[in-house]
Amino acid sequence: MRHEQDYDQDMTEEQIEELKKELIDDGKQKEEGFKLFGLYDVSNIVIKDPGMKRYINLEPKLVVKSYGRIREKYSKSKINLLEIFANLVAVPGHRGKKHKIQTFWKTGKYSQNMKIVLDCLKVIEQKTKQNPVQVLVTGIENAAPRDGITVIEYGGARYPQAVDISPLRRVTMTLRIIVQGSYDKSFNKKTKIHEALADEIIKAYNNEADSYAMVKKRDSEKQADSAR
């Protein structure tokens, strides 16, 4: 303690203030320099949809993996968006209660699935010359349906009823539809899965009509309008 007091006494007030400013600047540079996977800066990502904002987690980490430890209510809001994306790559063939495309070889292969996601982001960055995470987030916002239908039973008859889709379901359902559409375009074809994913996300980002996710969005909202 004596040495620290002597050191503080030897320094002038101006030197102490300069030292504090340097420490603060160093801390800011470290925070700003920390990137997702050490590649993508997520500090300036803009999420325009206020409902989906709390459910799109983009916390910068070098290893995006929760090991299944987050098991509380609304737990997906605390899991990184890219981890959810990689997990959905493992089950792309699931359509309702049927499996259109069997992809059991991807189940549990976290490294392979995350590599597909990272390769997809690289292709997006090369084609758009923009932050690929921003392109992904904007594509999800554009392709997420706001209305859907559910079936209610009254008097022995079943009727479709229009309902609002929750923000969390909008995020996960849109990612699932993007993965399904990409596998349809790449399964048993020359197109690689990461290229198909990148193409689908870019089309959703640009609001293009031939995007599989945009087609599904329009169908869902039309069915909801007719069921009101």
Question: Comparing C-alpha atoms, which of 221, 183, 175, 219 is closest to residue 201?
Answer: 175
Q: Per the domain annotation, does 17 fall within a domain?
A: no
Q: Model confidence over 39-54: pLDDT tens digits?
A: 888 888 999 988 898 8
At 185-213, the pLDDT tens digits run 888 889 998 999 999 999 999 999 889 99
Q: Which segment of 15-19, 121-125, 146-150 scores lowest on mean pLDDT?
A: 15-19
Q: pTM of whole model > 0.85?
A: no
Q: Is residue 27 part of a domain?
A: no
Of residues 79 and 20, the one with the higher pLDDT is: 79
Mean pLDDT of 158-172: 91
Tell me how crowded residue 201 is: count the other CB atoms within 10 A of its CB. 29
Domain count, the chain: 1
> What contacts 24+ positions apart, CB below 8 Å, involve 118-122?
118/37, 118/39, 119/194, 120/194, 120/195, 120/197, 120/198, 120/201, 121/39, 121/40, 121/198
Contact 197, 178 (CB under 8 A): yes
Q: Which residues contact 157 (CB under 8 A, 6 or more apart)?
A: none
70 belongs to a structural domain: yes
Task: Let me know if residue 10 belongs to a domain.
Answer: no
Q: Is residue 63 part of a domain?
A: yes
Q: Considering only 63-72, 127-136, 162-171, 213-222, which range has the smallest mean pLDDT? A: 63-72
Per-residue CA distances from 70 to 56, 61, 65, 74 (Å) = 15, 16, 11, 10
pLDDT in tens, 89-122: 887 566 766 666 655 566 678 888 899 999 999 9
pLDDT score, position 212: 92
What was the pLDDT predicted at 2?
Answer: 41
Separation CA 224–CA 228 (nearest Å):
6
**Mean pLDDT for the chain?**
82
Query: Is residue 170 included in any domain, yes or no?
Result: yes
Token digits of residue 30: 């470290």
Q: End-to-end CA distance of the chain: give it in Å, rounded.
A: 75
pLDDT band with cut points at 50, 70 and 90 for residue 130: very high
Cβ neighbours, 10 Å, residue 43: 12
Cα distances from 114 to residues 92, 117, 198, in angstroms, run 14, 5, 14
Question: Does 23 map to a domain?
Answer: no
Residue 69 lies in a domain: yes
Confidence label for 174 from pLDDT (cuts 50, 70 and 90): very high
Lowest mean pLDDT among 11-15, 79-83, 160-164: 11-15
Q: Domain residues for 46?
A: 34-226
Q: How confident is the model at residue 21 (pLDDT cuts 50, 70, 90)?
A: low
Query: Does residue 20 register a pLDDT over 60?
Result: no
Q: CA-CA distance, 31 to 46, in Å (whole number)?
A: 18
We report the CATH number of the domain holding residue 90 as: 1.10.455.10
Identify which of 65, 153, 44, 149 has the alpha carbon closest to the alpha carbon of residue 109.
65
